[in-house]
Structure 1
Amino acid sequence: MTSTFFFAGARTCSASPPALTPCALACALLLTGPAMAAEDPPSTAHTLPEVVVTAVHDDSPAHVVADPKQPRQPVPASDAADYLKTIPGFSAIRSGGSNGDPVFRGQFGSRLPLLTNGTLMLGACPGRMDAPSSYISPETFDTLTLVKGPQTVTWGPGNSAGLVRFDRERPDFSEGGVHFSASLLGASAGRNDQTADLAAGSERMYLRATANHSHSQDYEDGQGRRVPSAWDKWNTDVAVGLTPDAHALMELSAGTGDGQARYGGRGMDGTQFRRDSLGLRLKKEHLTPWLTRLEAQLYRNRADHVMDNFTLRTPPTTGMMAGGMASNVRRTTTGGRLAATLQPADALSLVTGLDFSRSPHDARSGTPTMPYADQPWKGDAKFDNLGVFAEATWQARPDTRWVSGLRLDHSQAWRYPAGNAGMGGMGGSGMGGMGMPASADGNHRERQALPSGFVRWERTLQPGTTAYVGLGHVQRFPDYWELISPGNSAAASGNAFATLQPEKTTQVDAGVNWKGQDWQLWSSAYVGRVQDYILFDYPGMGSSVRNVNAQTAGFELGGSRRLSAAWTLQGTLAYSWGRNTTDQRPLPQMPPLEARLGLDYAQGPWSAGVLWRLVAAQRRYALGQGNVVGRDLGPSAGFGVFSLHADYRVNQRLKLSFGIDNVFDKTYAEHLNLAGNAGFGYPGGVRINEPGRTFWLRADVKF
């Protein structure tokens, strides 16, 4: 089904024109259209109009698949978190501007792995200023796949909330040897984006290059108040593939990127987001009647991040960071995957294999007079994981399918004494721990067998109606931000490295889809129990982390109704609930009830749409608790935001689009948010407001 999502956008203040990076490419413009991620049977995937972002069922009702190249509203996303917000159940921890941290069903961080082309890219900031989503430019990928809940075991450990994959597909040259697409965006607040995607090749080999650049100045909220939020970022990726036949692939890829961003809700800004990636993947299909696919992959992703309080703002004159301070943190993640798909019987298939990753973390620091670049790197932590998995699919009857999987992970973590860590514990929200003290409890933790597994029943009840129920269990090893950063290993913070237990989530997921000739409805729901949920407490300036028990539940609903040949009415509703049963209070950082209603028109080369986004007040909160980035700041007010768009397809190669987000210049703030930093001229202690009225114009070309 198609559903539309439109979102609130930004009016802003002007500033000097941006300097173009090497990847700021002249392209032409693309998008608008509504974008609501809903779910459809596979049979509709090729009949949906181009003007909307769609999400359709792939090989399972529990999977949602979207095309991130398709248009969406609000103003096109600058990072993965911004794009994921258009899928029901998603929200993001906001700090103004770009580089939010995605939250699905109120769950966050390593509970929701983000993979790019099957590889893991981890940020380095102790305060997650450079969350993995900040290194992803959605429009440069071909598909986005979301697995809701613990309903797969084949793509790494810890996916208790779900799993998100951004993938680039093997180019198809059946209709020509060269494919090129490009887009150009201009919007309020000096926003301008350029994106290009070029693929050239034949049946035997190909070259593909993607590049994008995104820039914005500080925006203004609905009251005309400037919000520190400017960013400038770019990414470039190249892949060379050999395809000796239609069933074989060997691809070597490399990529890099960089950027900077101002944050009204943090004590420091990001002045470098350097990414360097290398990857090799091999795939062979139809080897024998019983071995249908063999895949192998190796990769190396490095994040080299700099944060300081003097490049993009005036440093404070008093306090611990007076005069200016910088922290340079680096994380290098290497890993690989080997998987075989077996077909022992016509109705039974099995995917089995192993994956591994290793991720050391280094840090150094400095001041304007003692540059960090002159200081040596010092390691403060290292993590690695080795997992084996098997996932089976059994077509028990033509209308009934069972899917189940089992996974075992061997996880380890090392921490290094304070003498090796420098000041790398300095987080983006201010000052965290200054390194990890040596401890009688040791500096190495190991878990040899962390089990995860699931079983799911899928049934076609009648033509156009499908249902599923799944039971999943995940044991998640604590991540870097929970075990070590910011200063969680210190005795005063409870010595999390020695005491924190793996998180154990057991969850039931269910859903039903109905489809008629002119209408479609879909629903998904979940209820879970979490033993040893990892929770952050913020009693004052510092933080501590501990295990509690928790319960979670929620749902996502959506539907569309074709009113006539030209008009379609669409809507979604999403709700997440969580309770800390140890303390008998709500779980923190839970998004409020949210609904989206859209009306779309499409006739000939014209299309248009409106969206009304409605968010309820959130009265369930846990003051002083949260996660490593966000914490509950108290109750939040509800709001409604109205947006509209229109686009015109000039011909098969060119489309022009126009949109206005937050038409009535509403002043509002998201519940999941950072408090403004008073030292940056924005009111301290209050949630950062979202952009006011935002105009944008976009076009895209395709050859």
Structure 2
Amino acid sequence: MQAPTGKSMQKFICNKQPLAVAVVLALAAQAQAHEHDHDQQTTRLPTSVVTGVAQSSPGTVVTDPKLPRQPVPASDAADYLKTIPGFSGMRSGGVNSDPSFRGMFGSRLKILSNGGEMLGACPNRMDSPSSYIAPETYDKLTVIKGPQSVQHGPGSYAAVVLFERGPEQFDEPGMRIDANVVAGSNNRWDRNLDAAIGNSQGYVRLMGQATRASDYKDGGRNKVPSRWDKWNAETALGWTPDDDTLLELTLGRGDGETRYGGRGMDGTRFLRENTALRFKKTNMSETWTAFEAQLYYNYADHIMANDKLRPAPLMPNGMPMAMATQVDRRTLGARVKSTWEWDDFELVAGMDAQTNWHRLRARYGSYPMNQPSVVRSHMEKDAEMNQLGVFGELTWALTERDRLIGGLRVDRHEATDEREYLEGRRNIPACPDVGTNLNCQPNPTANKKRTDTLPSGFIRHEHDMASLPATVYMGLGHSQRFPDYWELFSAANLSDGAGGYLPTAFKTVNPEKTTQLDFGFQYAQGPVELWASGYAGFIRDYILFSYKGANTTAHNVNARIMGAEIGGSHRFAPGWKADASLAYAWGKNSSDGRPLPQVAPMEARFGLGYERNDWSAGGLWRVVGKQSRVHEGYGNSIGKDFEKSSGFGVFSLNGAYRINSNWKFSAGIDNLFNKEYREHLNLDGVDIAGYSADSRMNEPGRIWWTRIDMSF
């Protein structure tokens, strides 16, 4: 059987006719005909709709991203993460949010897809790393809170987010299919397919998603520019010669466009290409239990423009000012690790490396005749970044009820500034009118390198209580994070008053150094589950952005952070379940006594559900408090604080019916009472959306959605 190419898969999933559904039904019938024992080989689809995700073990959250969720998520990973307490998202439209956890953004939050890291290219993070991830094509979503692991790369002291796929397992020739279709308000139309065919020697897995939606309307029935149209497709070829060996090659491609109400330009290309090769071998000896190796290549090609999905703005002379920018980024990474086990010990050790190149075509498009045009015929590199790290993580079973887990890693970082010139607030590799344009000056750090060797580590104690079915834990972690591309290269440069510029962030911004205490408990007995996780930390050299007019600069301050997430559920009667969660984050800029900006307000979620046989129904009440701790005009590489924000509450309903073990229908209404509200974390508005540059956009009003799931 020949696996479809990216283009053929694109045609399959993007056909606006119901071709995808027809093909899925045909494949399902074929799979059913070849089953030897239907009752044993089918899996009953769960009935309920996910409205919140609980912590599953000390400091760790695990969930299935394929399950239907409320509020109905967009196509990006950030909207899926928002169902986990402590997560928020920087909003700028209907899709491609930038996730935040405990008030921390960007590379403070490590997001890996099947072990690889997909880095965006846009200097303004229009294509955030999470925007390239299609969650429903993965089997498991794991969140590790705090600096409590060293296995997944450097610098992620807020959390590690893992979107993972497991290998396919066929004891005999067979196939499986998981698919769903979503339709809803604002012309929402999603198609998702995850299918595999194989035998005991190997498999072919096909994954695809196409999603689109029109501009939404807020609670006041005002249209907000937010439409999107995206697709992605992946093929995995696996070889499993025995139960202990896996060799898998993955090829993927995707693209799309989206309109933003919170940006001056729209995203007209989100081209993604990825290739990954992984090898895993288990049970090599009594003590050497696993060896894993991975090599991945990711490419992002992004174009933003102000005239394709919106009217181009007009100059004072009435002429249009059409502009566009193209950027791309190539990331090559590798990782190897081994696991050894003894009576009371488990050791995981290995190394990882990554190199990435960033290029741009500074500007192109139609300009007024009296303005100089900058048109590049090819992409020019402006930055290169490299990392090499080694790590080790040891688990020691002290007693039957006590475990001690600790880890260390050391990373070597190198960054090269490839920009020859700096122009205004745009950092570009070349400048055509240097010497005549005072806004275009030689870059003082051109072709300079920065190198740092940064250590990180943690130690955590877990104790299973004797008197209660509960586990308590406490861990101390230290993480040092090298500044990312956005912090080194995207910040603008301030004039020194003599036609030149002050030293750029590439030279002046120091790595962040975080020391954090994480603690909590996990309790489960009968119908009751309770959990809590708290943290308190100190960040030396926190990278703070200052937004002043057209200039954006980055500098270091010291900061203190603390907060907690708590939750629980109770099955108080047959079929009935109530659950609740609360998340709170606090931060302070210790250098000047101001609040740390871009921290989401307190948020609570209350859910009530009823499930009987093949039916379920539920409600979700999301309550968000006001945020008065702001530092206006300051933020991070994602966005800035505006004025204080008000609290709000949004109520939603859902229901589901399992037709049989293979088919399920679910539906819901989000924002049932058509509430008009705004999230605290939000990009500034633009004229196209009817908002000023110092106000937030409204969120969607009442939305209905339906979803059909199929699994064979």
How far apart, CA to CA, are the structure 2 residues paired with 1:451 and 1:319?
54
**Equivalent in the alignment of 1:599:** 608
Q: Alpha-carbon deviation of 1:678? A: 1.6
SS at match of 2:79: helix
Distance 1:593 1:168 in 2: 33
- Which residue number corresponds to residue 336 of structure 1? 334
After TM superposition, the structure 1 stretch with the greater mean CA deviation from structure 2, 556-565 or 433-442, is 433-442
2:328 maps to 1:326: no
1:142-157 to 2 correspondences below 5 Å: 142-157=139-154
Partner of 1:23: 13
Tell me, what secondary structure is at the counterpart of 2:107? helix
Q: Distance in 2 between matches of 1:505 and 1:26?
A: 48
2:380 aligns with one of 378, 381, 398: 378
SS at match of 1:608: strand
TM-score w.r.t. length of structure 2: 0.89
Aligned to 1:410: 412
Q: Which shows bigger deviation, 669-678 or 168-177?
A: 168-177
| Aligned residues of 2:365 and 2:375 also touching (Cα < 8 A) | no
2:74 maps to 77
Partner residue, 1:97? 94
Give the Cα–Cα distance (whole angstroms) in 2 for the partners of residues 195 and 489 of structure 1. 47
Query: Contact conserved, 1:665 with 1:692, CA < 8 A, in 2?
Result: yes
Q: C-alpha displacement at 1:679, in angstroms?
A: 4.4
Contact 1:328 1:424 in 2 (8 A): no
Inter-CA distance 517–508: structure 2 relative to 1 (3 Å threshold): same
Amino acid at match of 2:328: R
Across the two proteins, how many residue pairs are aligned to each other? 659
Kindly state the Cα deviation for residue 516 of structure 1 after the two structures are TM-superposed.
Answer: 2.1
In structure 1, the residue matched to 2:584 is 575
- 1:642 corresponding residue in structure 2: 651
Q: CA deviation at 1:194?
A: 0.3
> Secondary structure of 1:119's partner?
coil
Equivalent residue for 1:475, pick from 475, 480, 502: 480
Q: Assess if the C-alpha contact under 8 Å between 1:416 and 1:436 holds in 2.
A: no
- Assess if the C-alpha contact under 8 Å between 1:55 and 1:67 holds in 2: no
Residue in 2 that maps onto 1:538: 547
- Which amino acid is the alignment partner of residue 544 of structure 1? T
User: Structure 1 residues 606, 470: closer, same or farther in 2, change over 3 A?
Assistant: same
Distance 1:363 1:512, change over 3 A: same
Looking at structure 2, the residues matched to 350 and 435 of structure 1 have their Cα atoms a distance apart, in angstroms, of 54
Q: Which residue of 2 aligns with 1:38?
A: none
State the distance in 2 between where 1:676 and 1:278 align: 37
SS at match of 1:528: strand
Cα distance in 2 for partners of 1:75, 1:188 equals: 11
After TM superposition, give the deviation of residue 22 of structure 1 in Å: 4.4
Q: In the alignment, is residue 694 of structure 1 matched against residue 703 of structure 2?
A: yes
8 Å CA contact retained: 2:53, 2:85: no
Structure with the larger RCO, 1 or 2 (CA within 8 Å, 6+ apart): 1
Structure 1: 5+ residue stretches without partners: 1-19, 30-45, 427-432
Distance in 1, matches of 2:116 and 2:267, equals 24
Q: Secondary structure at the match of 2:458?
A: strand
State the 1:369 CA deviation. 4.8
- State the match for 2:3 in structure 1: none
When residues 436 and 109 of structure 1 are mapped into structure 2, their CA distance, relative to the original with a 3 A threshold, is farther
Q: Is 1:631–2:640 an aligned residue pair?
A: yes
Moved more, 674-683 or 485-494: 485-494
Gaps of 5+ in 2: 1-9, 25-42, 368-372, 429-437
Deviation of 1:284 (Å): 0.3
CA–CA distance in 2 between the matches of 1:424 and 1:541?
10
Identity value in percent: 48
CA–CA separation in structure 2 for the residues paired with 1:452 and 1:174: 43
Equivalent residues of 1:337, 1:353 under 8 A apart: yes
671-680 or 348-357: bigger deviation: 671-680
Residues in 2 aligned to 1:91 and 1:57: alpha-carbon distance in whole angstroms: 17
Q: Which residue is 1:228 aligned to?
A: 225
350, 353, 357: which one aligns with 2:354: 357
| Greater mean deviation of Cα atoms: 631-640 or 671-680 | 671-680
Distance (Å, rounded) in 2 between the aligned partners of 1:685 and 1:423:
19
1:617-639 superposed Cα distances (whole Å, 9 cap, x missing partner): 11000011001221000100100
- CA distances 1:158-194 after superposition (whole Å, capped 9, x unpaired): 1110100101111122486100011001110011100
CA contact (8 A) 1:538 1:625 kept: yes
Residues of 2 paired with 1:627 and 1:109: CA distance? 9
| Shift in alpha-carbon separation, 1:636–1:494, aligned structure 2, 3 A | farther
Which residue of 1 is the match for residue 534 of structure 2?
525
Match of 1:498 in 2: 507
1:485 counterpart = 2:490? yes
CA distance in structure 2 between the aligned counterparts of 1:593 and 1:339, rounded to whole angstroms: 39
Counterpart secondary structure, 1:385:
strand
SS of 1:521's partner is: strand
**Matching residue of 1:459:** 463
CA gap of 1:558–1:446, structure 2 versus 1, over 3 A, is same
Give the 5 Å matches for 1:16-165.
Answer: 22-24=12-14, 26-27=20-21, 50-53=47-50, 55=53, 61-165=58-162
Q: How many Å separate the matches in 2 of 1:642 and 1:84?
A: 19
Mapped partners of 2:214, 2:241: distance in 1: 47
Q: State the AA in 2 paired with 1:688.
A: M
Name the residue aligned to 1:213. 210
CA apart distance, 1:109: 0.2
**1:657 aligns to what?**
666
- 1:583–1:315 CA distance, 2 compared to 1 (3 A): same
Q: Corresponding residue for 1:590? A: 599
Partner of 2:290: 293
Which is greater in Rg?
2
Q: Residues 430-460 of structure 1: CA distance to partner in whole angstroms, max 9, x if unpaired?
A: xxx999942168621001x200000010111
Structure 2 SS opposite 1:457: strand
- 2:263·2:686 contact (CA, 8 Å) conserved in 1? yes
Contact 1:380–1:421 (Cα < 8 Å) also in 2: no
1:317: how far off?
1.2
Q: Write out per-residue CA displacement over residues 594-613 of structure 1, whole angstroms, 9 at most, x where no aligned residue.
A: 00101000011110100110
| Equivalent position to 1:558, from 552, 563, 567 | 567
Instruction: Kindly indicate whether the alpha-carbon contact (under 8 Å) linking 2:47 and 2:615 is maintained by their aligned counterparts in 1.
Output: no
Distance 1:235 1:493, change over 3 A: farther
Q: Is the 8 A contact 1:494 1:545 kept in 2?
A: no
Q: How far 1:417 moved relative to its partner?
A: 2.6
Q: Tell me how far apart the structure 2 counterparts of residues 424 and 238 of structure 1 sit (CA, whole Å).
A: 38
